[in-house]
Amino acid sequence: MAPLPPAAPQFGDDLAIRPSPETLAFLARRRSASALTLGEPGPTEAELRALLTLATRAPDHGKLTPWRFIVLQGAEKRAFVEGLEAIAAARPDAAKVQAKLGKIRVPPLTVAVISRVVEGEIPEWEQRLSAGAVCAIMIIAVQAMGYGANWITDWYAYDPAATDLLGLTGSERVAGFVHLGTPTEPPLERVRPDVDALVTRWTRAMAAVQRPR
């Protein structure tokens, strides 16, 4: 049994910041697992429920909960993949898109994180970003439980027939298919960016630079 998080705090509880060296060490070696290596066991129902609860702690401007989850598991997941196979076969790039389906067929559990937009003052961009934060928390949390995860979109996040099959409506879009399971082989470190090359410190002189728009 994977470690489960403690009960969620109650509204208004004191959540004073506590350093967590274990979290830092964990994040320093966080790595996605190839979806094709994700096998049984996947998270249990209790672990999945805990995972989704943690994911809903994502920052959310306006407290709009501009996301929802679709769990794909078991026979229903197989039926969903069969539906994707049929959609793929009818596409002009059938061979290419069919080859991508292994990543959703193989893992025992997939959570589709659905971004939706709530009309009002909060920009759509921020609501979509919040859905991305949900996905990020989910892959971190499930890895902390000891499982492997991979956040994927692939063609079926964008193909209208595939998103109809998934049951999306209106402004809804797939933020990610988060595939979950136990990796059959350990992930290896990949190339990482040079952080220093990504950082500038703003100075007042920068404000004078004219850039094309």
Ligand X SMILES: Cc1cc2nc3c(=O)[nH]c(=O)nc-3n(C[C@H](O)[C@H](O)[C@H](O)COP(=O)(O)O)c2cc1C
The site for ligand X (CB under 6 A) is made up of 31-32, 150-154, 176, 190
Residue with Cβ nearer ligand X (32 or 98): 32
Minimum distance from residue 149 beta carbon to ligand X (Å): 8
Minimum distance from residue 29 beta carbon to ligand X (Å): 10
Residue with Cβ nearer ligand X (32 or 37): 32
Residue with Cβ nearer ligand X (48 or 177): 177
Q: Are 181 and 41 in contact (CB under 8 A)?
A: yes
Residue with Cβ nearer ligand X (30 or 49): 30
Minimum distance from residue 155 beta carbon to ligand X (Å): 8
DSSP assignment of the chain equals: -PPPPPPPPPTT--------HHHHHHHHT--PPPGGGEES----HHHHHHHHHHHTTS--TTS---EEEEEEEHHHHHHHHHHHHHHHHTSTTHHHHHTTTHHHHSSSEEEEEEE---SSSS-HHHHHHHHHHHHHHHHHHHHHTT-EEEEE--GGGT-HHHHHHHT--TT-EEEEEEEEEEESS---------HHHH-----GGGGG-----
Minimum distance from residue 11 beta carbon to ligand X (Å): 31
Q: Fill in the amino acid letter for 35.
A: A
Residue with Cβ nearer ligand X (42 or 183): 183
Residue sitting closest to ligand X (CB): 32
Minimum distance from residue 144 beta carbon to ligand X (Å): 14
Residue 210 structure tokens: 């004219």
